[in-house]
Amino acid sequence: MLKSMLKPVLLSAALISGSAMAANYDIDGAHTTILFKINHMGFSETVGRFNSFSGNYQYDANKPQSAQVAITIDADSLDTNHEARDKHVKSPDFLDTKQYPEISFKSTAFNGNADKGVLTGDLTMHGVTKQVDLNVVKIGEGKDPWGGYRSGFNGTITLKRADFGIDQMLGGIGNDVKIELFIEGIRK
């Protein structure tokens, strides 16, 4: 009898707490891509990506404002499909990956709903930390064929590279860097 009386109380407590719905995810590097585009001399856009990164996030569809994200990118993993250009972009003229080997983002707030919104956080690149706003859209979530559970989000942001002290060749190479993230996470 006591057991049957406690069951509804425990269920109600779990629903009210909301934390029962929060889930932690590790970013799946095999199904995540971080791209960037930058104007080249007004003629075209050069596209590149980072091949090595790690991170995690916490997501609760019932409390999207409590979302948390942390990503660390290996700056030296930059790949524009042109070895000489990659070497130059990694040099002290631009990213200076020997002195600044990582690019990191840690969220501080989310404003939106379970499907889309703006993720605010601190981006550290080239030794400079700036608060940025990332537009985020939820792509989906559910069970995968291997018995796990996944969720995915896309994000976009345009940064001014000069704001991070990367101002070499402004004019010939654009100041605006468009970044697109395609993130898939595996629930822990």
Q: What is the DSSP letter of 81?
A: S
**109 neighbors 139 (Cβ within 8 angstroms):** no
Interval 110-127: pLDDT, tens: 999 999 999 999 999 999
Average pLDDT over the chain, rounded to an integer: 91
pLDDT at 21: 64
For 159, the token pair is 């940064």
Cβ atoms of residues 68 and 57 within 8 Å? yes
* Contact criterion met (CB below 8 Å) for 22 and 185: no
Look at the block and give the residue holding tokens 């130059």.
Answer: 88
Q: Are 66 and 22 in contact (CB under 8 A)?
A: yes
- Which of 89, 81, 76 is CA-nearest to residue 166? 89
Give residue-wise pLDDT tens across range 29-88.
999 999 999 999 999 999 999 999 999 999 999 999 999 999 999 999 999 999 999 999
Domains annotated on the chain, with CATH:
22-187 (2.40.128.110)
Q: What letter would DSSP give residue 171?
A: T
pLDDT of residue 58: 97
| pTM recorded for the entire structure | 0.86
Q: Please say whether the beta carbons of 155 and 134 come within 8 A.
A: yes
* pLDDT of 12 above 70: no
